[in-house]
Structure 1
């Protein structure tokens, strides 16, 4: 028998989702793994939109949407700019090319430029919903990513009530996580690393044992424990934690030890994990970490049902917060305060205040939105060029 790899071991502990829209890569990996969900953002959509295999699809989509607009009565209002309507249909059509190559859902993100506009976020998510229906992808096979701002999560709550599943993304702290629970989100995507660290490794906290040494691990463990305790107290479904923004394979393994429901991994990191033979001794934390790792529940079992408290190795992280500038030896947001706060009341005023009060959350949220807006603009340029070529 061939030795198991780090990828094999991680798949035993959580669901591995792919952060890459290239169907050729999914086919390449089929003998090794069939991924659960396929996540994306404006960056990955833009990369795939520019792939040579999609040149004609983009031109056809641009022509089709333009002609539909031209044929519409002048009195019919257009809720979206032409480029955004083309972008949305194109993104969904690229999802159509990969949905049968994965087990679960394809995910697309609402416009980051509209992250502080509830009505615009709602409108874009509903447009995605209509385009998914157009290509025959049902609601149980897609999910809409919503940035974790107050206005956007108000939209998420309404979308959930309509039966459109959402994921809270660009999440960096406990108040955002609680707000996603209050909105009824299916999942959340906490970013393990600042998005800027992928381009600037000087700000990446490279550590040997990320589960206990990475400065963001405490917040992640606290979010998972928040949901575990909330489920035990209320019996109500809590968002699944899809940890994201990994740089090293050791960080991905930490997500398994901490008990995340899934890890969303870049194609390069997936290949790295698949190339590494696994032993407990080679894992950060060694056999102690391996033995403390939870086996993922069966798909039909509520995820937080019978989940134990964090292991002895991780329990100290419940009491500290290395990202808390005022005092890293204390938590930035306590469990009691978070669960007692309605973050979506009064137009999400409490969530806005909590984000503003935490420099890490406010800075990293702004950085993520800025990055995605830049990617969205690149896609708009591609669309404008496609229209000009018609």
Structure 2
């Protein structure tokens, strides 16, 4: 049995791509997208007609509405291939605007519902800022399920769990990137691999905390740099993996044992923690890696959202 099939026996495998033509070969249950992945897809010749067609069909609408329709169109194509859920992201430029995030999320969900897709099959992706978490809490109360992304710190995860969020996406690879860059010439790759990988340690801490305290929020490790990070998180609720790394797992027949164990976490001595807004902001501020990577992630997604806007304006 290959490693991808072994992983599926412990963990729900999710494909991290806007490239729906590539999905079927890996048989993931869910798929996630973001502005960067959609931009990458629409720049490929096989997807360009889908963008043009959507833009032409909705010519008279405001640019932000056309963008949402393009995102949803990709989501609809993905849902033809995966049996589970698709994650569609709210514009990262709204990451500090609770009301605008809520309004945009409602509109995206309404577009899916108008296309006959039930709410259970869609997750709205929102950045894990304080405002984003509060917006998601409001949406969850309305039955709109959310995926809180750009999550780098324990305090973000605790706040999401307390807010009753459906799912979080802690970013393993970007945490690893920060520590590697920060260490410079002193970085020891072998000593910081597997269970000692800083991104793996972060997700493990969150997973164990949630299981110990009965937090229902699903943990989905994201943004992987190598299959070693994935192997070290086998047993996590979900893992969202790029097609390149899915192919590597599929090509290996080596044994892949479970690494994370909910039963063991429930027996561990892990104290409960709570954050109000001031406590959350201070805890995030004290974590240089999380502060920098959250800000950088929002900036990068905002740039790609802007590029998608420009592509659509050109088509118009």
Relative to the length of structure 1, the TM-score reads 0.74
Select the residue among 204, 208, 212 that pairs with 1:225.
Answer: 208
Partner in structure 1 of residue 287 of structure 2: 358
Partner in structure 1 of residue 146 of structure 2: 166
What's the secondary structure of 2:168's corresponding residue?
A: strand
1:193 has 2:173 as partner: yes
Select the residue among 261, 264, 278 that pairs with 1:308.
Answer: 264
List structure 1 runs of 4+ shifted beyond 3 angstroms: 195-198, 200-211, 291-294
1:105 has 2:85 as partner: yes
Of residues 222-231 and 148-157 in structure 1, the stretch that sits farther from structure 2 once superposed is: 222-231
Q: How far off its partner does 1:97 sit? A: 1.1
Report Cα offsets for 1:299-329 as digits up to 9, x if no partner: xxxxx6xx22289xxx8xx9xxxxxxxxxxx
Query: Residues 219, 23 of structure 1: CA spacing in aligned structure 2 closer, same or farther, 3 A cutoff?
Result: closer
Query: Residues 197, 173 of structure 1: CA spacing in aligned structure 2 closer, same or farther, 3 A cutoff?
Result: closer
Partner in structure 2 of residue 129 of structure 1: 109
CA–CA separation in structure 2 for the residues paired with 1:255 and 1:292: 6
Q: Is the 8 A contact 2:15 2:240 kept in 1?
A: yes
CA–CA separation in structure 2 for the residues paired with 1:379 and 1:184: 32
CA–CA separation in structure 2 for the residues paired with 1:293 and 1:107: 24
Partner in structure 1 of residue 302 of structure 2: 373
Q: How far off its partner does 1:291 sit? A: 6.6
Structure 1: give runs of 5+ residues left out of the alignment.
Answer: 70-81, 232-236, 284-289, 295-303, 319-334
Relative to the length of structure 2, the TM-score reads 0.90
Partner in structure 2 of residue 272 of structure 1: 248
CA–CA separation in structure 2 for the residues paired with 1:205 and 1:252: 19
1:20 has 2:17 as partner: yes
What's the secondary structure of 1:260's corresponding residue?
A: coil
Q: How far off its partner does 1:115 sit? A: 0.4
Q: Is the 8 A contact 2:236 2:260 kept in 1?
A: no
Larger radius of gyration: 1
What's the secondary structure of 1:38's corresponding residue?
A: strand
CA–CA separation in structure 1 for the residues paired with 2:176 and 2:313: 28
What's the secondary structure of 1:143's corresponding residue?
A: strand
Q: Is the 8 A contact 1:192 1:246 kept in 2?
A: yes
Q: Is the 8 A contact 1:150 1:349 kept in 2?
A: no
Partner in structure 2 of residue 120 of structure 1: 100
1:243 has 2:199 as partner: no
CA–CA separation in structure 1 for the residues paired with 2:129 and 2:188: 26
Query: Residues 205, 99 of structure 1: CA spacing in aligned structure 2 closer, same or farther, 3 A cutoff?
Result: farther
Q: Is the 8 A contact 1:13 1:293 kept in 2?
A: no
Q: Is the 8 A contact 2:194 2:200 kept in 1?
A: yes
Q: How far off its partner does 1:11 sit? A: 1.4
Partner in structure 2 of residue 138 of structure 1: 118
What's the secondary structure of 1:53's corresponding residue?
A: coil
Q: Is the 8 A contact 1:195 1:368 kept in 2?
A: no
Partner in structure 2 of residue 46 of structure 1: 39
Q: Is the 8 A contact 2:86 2:121 kept in 1?
A: yes
